């Protein structure tokens, strides 16, 4: 009789910052029913991975589920996998963080379930060749990866019915290839189809292994899968058919495979992740070309043979594709080195430093660093959670390293590793990051009292899938486009818009959104033109290089940005000198900005000048509103668009955060306001996301030769008094 060995693994994770109702819904629709079903089938062996984030939540909210897992472990049905505690993409953080996060989850598993995990789930299966040394140092014996990784090394489908060994500098690691065929049949095809596939690969010797390992969210949490897996009993029917064929399908834990079967050989895998991820990392034009080539190969029935040679980018490309992701990762990286340096000091509060490291690791949770079929980076609540933990860690580091009560410091260095310097300014109240090379703009405002970054925003940019949104709009479809049979579609096959007319929001920014951005508008520019970034920018200031100088006097830092640039005034290109001096105090969260604009032309000029401020307030709900001291507004919501004249005192109040962000202008301005809304893809379809509210005070100027116009703007942040 021909036989086959079968190893089955499930990965469960919810990101830091996800809403509690999402955790709760996922638990009741996926995690718990899955456990209850497999409990009925004690011979069905499963390797389970839970991120530390999810295990903590289950322990706090549904402790009885941990008891169930422990029972399954005791009877030998379940083995647990370790991994990065906060489900980090380990490769982009220091080795000490890699090992620390793995060891932390291993300890939790040992203490909670009385079992030593020998294998690891690698977040998003992002592989890089240097990992074996690090993972082996953390006592990891094996990792489960996609078969795609192995095929990139030239191995055929038939050569993947087992496991391989790799090494780095002599540190050995076992690697199991996940079958892509099974990833698309389980649980989306009828169980018998999987059995037929097993028959096709079974051998008389019974020495072959087939591996399934994928997200547990496929079993009840992804769209339509709850009814499919539990209402239509797919999971039970699958387990029944495995049990029925147990005479030739042998269920094995991965650790058992290592003892029973010999490795197929040695392999060295290139940098890779699963195939879909490699496409998501690409810039829009390459994204579409990749898709076109895949479709062409499939149409010509060449994909099965040559598709493996069609490769996209790799995970780190997200740090080039999204400056906001790169900025966050580099801030976390920089802080990790600070903590490492403090650890070497004998005279340091070790408990406080340990707490700072814990916050730092939480800030490494992978979900808000990238974007694919999941919302990820586009979701402000996920970004906010990571920023909040980063700021908490940064505050503790400041408390440890700074001896004075009121202090102020600055660093000028290439933070984001693009060859150009950034300026970091830190006080007990704030953390600020300026880009001298991009308009002297401000791209980070950490208000430490609330551990909140007001510039945790995402600029609007084209995504490769936006063309599909336009196509959907043309066809006016409101239902998912699925396969023609009755199978439940994978989220990779779904095409659905959660609301109508999303194509109207597909505007793209040609500069990175931030604050203190200096605009010169063309005559006739409308608020609509400006808000959609389709307007004539007459100056060369917004994203260009500014010179800067920094001076600290007692408890105040003076940061001055200067640029000699050009502005089109009618048909004339006019030389303009712009300076903006920022005054930042160690004892306050206020920033005072003094603007001076000088006409260096030989004739009088008319200019339309404005300063852009962005505030990312997480949402546009009723707990947050815009105000103008001088006016009553018909609509004070953060999603509203309006133009108001003669304004000098305005801002945003956030009752949820308990904050008032106020701006005062020395000279009354026309004030434009509008929201920045992005359109992204999530597992439930295309959706609109609120990113920030833009406040844009602007003035029309008439300057004689050598005349200087100036104004002062004060940005203040205050905590609202409780009733």
* Catalytic residue ranges: 124, 215
User: Do the Cβ atoms of 678 and 458 come closer than 8 Å?
Assistant: yes
CA–CA gap between residue 653 and residue 717 (Å, rounded):
10
Backbone angles phi, psi at 447, to 5 degrees: -90, 105
Backbone angles phi, psi at 615, to 5 degrees: -135, 115
Strands (E), 199-318: 209-215, 249-251
Q: Is the dihedral of CA 287, 328, 132, 355 positive or negative?
A: negative
- CB count within 10 Å of CB 286 equals 15
CA–CA gap between residue 703 and residue 600 (Å, rounded):
10
CA–CA gap between residue 187 and residue 522 (Å, rounded):
57
Q: How many residues does the chain have?
A: 723
CA–CA gap between residue 514 and residue 517 (Å, rounded):
7
Three-state secondary structure call for residue 419:
coil
CA–CA gap between residue 721 and residue 575 (Å, rounded):
47
Q: Residues 506, 18, 363, 137: what is their CA dihedral angle, to the nearest 10 degrees?
A: -120
- CB count within 10 Å of CB 31 equals 26
| Burial classification of residue 441, based on how many CB atoms lie within 10 Å of its CB (0-12 exposed, 13-18 middle, 19 or more buried) | buried
Token digits of residue 454: 């007001």
Token digits of residue 352: 């406080």
Token digits of residue 535: 């307007």
In sequence order, which residues have a C-beta less than 8 Å from that of residue 437 and are 6 or more positions away? 420, 421, 545, 546
User: Do the Cβ atoms of 244 and 251 come closer than 8 Å?
Assistant: no
User: Do the Cβ atoms of 606 and 700 come closer than 8 Å?
Assistant: yes
CA–CA gap between residue 86 and residue 65 (Å, rounded):
20
Helix, strand counts (H, E) of the chain: 21, 26
User: Do the Cβ atoms of 534 and 508 come closer than 8 Å?
Assistant: no
User: Do the Cβ atoms of 694 and 676 come closer than 8 Å?
Assistant: yes
CA–CA gap between residue 425 and residue 410 (Å, rounded):
4
Token digits of residue 486: 């009755």
Q: Phi-psi bin for 159: left (phi > 0), alpha (psi -120 to 50), beta? A: alpha
The candidate with the shortest Cα–Cα distance to 580, out of 440, 434, 701, 424, is 440
**Checking DSSP bridges between strand 547-553 and strand 642-654, what pairing results, if any?**
unpaired
């Amino acid at each position: 009789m021909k036989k086959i060995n079968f190893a089955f693994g499930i990965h469960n994770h919810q990101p830091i910052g996800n809403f509690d109702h999402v955790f709760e819904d996922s638990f009741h629709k996926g995690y718990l029913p899955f456990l209850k079903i497999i409990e009925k089938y004690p011979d069905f062996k499963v390797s389970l991975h839970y991120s530390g984030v999810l295990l903590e939540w289950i322990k706090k909210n549904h402790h009885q589920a941990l008891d169930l897992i422990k029972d399954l472990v005791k009877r030998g049905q379940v083995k647990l996998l370790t991994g990065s505690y906060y489900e980090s993409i380990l490769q982009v953080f220091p080795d000490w963080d890699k090992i620390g996060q793995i060891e932390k989850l291993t300890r939790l598993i040992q203490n909670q379930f009385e079992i030593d995990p020998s294998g690891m789930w690698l977040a998003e299966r992002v592989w890089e060749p240097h990992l074996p040394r690090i993972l082996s140092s953390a006592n990891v014996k094996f990792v489960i990866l996609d078969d795609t990784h192995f095929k990139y090394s030239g191995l055929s489908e038939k050569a993947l019915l087992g496991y391989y060994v790799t090494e780095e500098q002599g540190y050995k690691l076992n690697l199991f290839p996940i079958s892509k065929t099974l990833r698309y049949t389980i649980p989306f095809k009828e169980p018998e189809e999987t059995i037929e596939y097993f028959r096709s690969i079974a051998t008389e010797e019974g020495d072959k292994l087939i591996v399934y390992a994928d997200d547990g969210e496929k079993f009840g949490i992804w769209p339509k899968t709850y009814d499919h897996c539990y209402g239509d009993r797919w999971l039970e029917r699958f387990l029944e058919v495995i049990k029925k064929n147990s005479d030739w399908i042998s269920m094995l834990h991965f650790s058992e495979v290592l003892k029973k079967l010999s490795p197929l050989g040695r392999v060295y895998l290139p940098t890779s992740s699963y195939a879909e991820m490699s496409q998501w990392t690409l810039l829009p034009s390459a994204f579409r070309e990749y898709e076109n080539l895949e479709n062409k190969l499939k149409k010509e029935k060449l994909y099965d043979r040559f598709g493996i040679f069609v490769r996209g980018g790799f995970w780190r490309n997200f740090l080039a594709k999204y400056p906001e992701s790169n900025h966050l990762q580099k801030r976390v990286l920089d802080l990790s080195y600070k903590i490492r340096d403090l650890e070497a000091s004998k005279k340091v509060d070790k408990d406080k430093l340990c707490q700072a490291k814990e916050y730092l690791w939480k800030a490494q949770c992978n979900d808000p660093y990238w974007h694919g079929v999941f919302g990820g980076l586009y979701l402000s609540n996920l970004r906010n959670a990571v920023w909040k933990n980063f700021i908490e860690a940064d505050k503790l580091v400041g408390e440890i390293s700074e001896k004075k009560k009121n202090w102020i410091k600055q660093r000028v260095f290439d933070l984001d590793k693009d060859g150009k310097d950034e300026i970091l300014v830190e006080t007990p109240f704030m953390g600020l990051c300026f880009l001298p090379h991009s308009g002297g703009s401000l791209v980070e405002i950490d208000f430490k009292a609330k551990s909140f970054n007001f510039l945790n925003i995402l600029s609007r940019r084209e995504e490769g899938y936006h063309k599909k949104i336009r196509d959907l709009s043309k066809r006016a479809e409101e239902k998912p486009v699925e396969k023609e049979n009755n199978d439940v579609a994978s989220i990779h096959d779904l095409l659905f818009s959660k609301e109508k007319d999303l194509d109207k929001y597909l505007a793209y920014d040609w500069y990175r959104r931030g604050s203190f951005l200096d605009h010169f508008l063309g005559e006739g520019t409308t608020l609509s033109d400006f808000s959609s970034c389709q307007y004539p920018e007459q100056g060369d200031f917004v994203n260009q290089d500014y010179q800067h100088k920094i001076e600290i006097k007692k408890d105040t830092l003076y940061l001055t940005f200067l640029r000699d640039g050009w502005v089109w005034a009618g048909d004339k290109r006019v030389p303009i000198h712009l300076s903006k001096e920022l005054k930042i105090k160690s004892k306050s969260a206020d920033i005072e900005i003094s603007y001076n604009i000088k006409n260096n032309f030989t004739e009088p000029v008319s200019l339309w000048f404005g300063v852009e401020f962005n505030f990312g307030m997480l949402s546009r709900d009723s707990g947050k509103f815009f105000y103008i001291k001088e006016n009553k507004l018909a609509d004070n919501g953060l999603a509203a668009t309006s133009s108001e004249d003669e304004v000098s005192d305005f801002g945003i109040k956030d009752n949820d955060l308990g904050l008032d962000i106020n701006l005062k202008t020395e000279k009354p301005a026309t004030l434009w306001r509008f929201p920045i809304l992005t359109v992204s893809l999530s597992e439930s379809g295309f959706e609109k996301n609120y990113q920030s509210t833009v406040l844009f005070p602007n003035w029309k100027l008439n300057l004689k030769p050598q005349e200087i116009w100036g104004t002062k703007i004060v940005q203040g942040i205050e905590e609202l008094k409780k009733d």
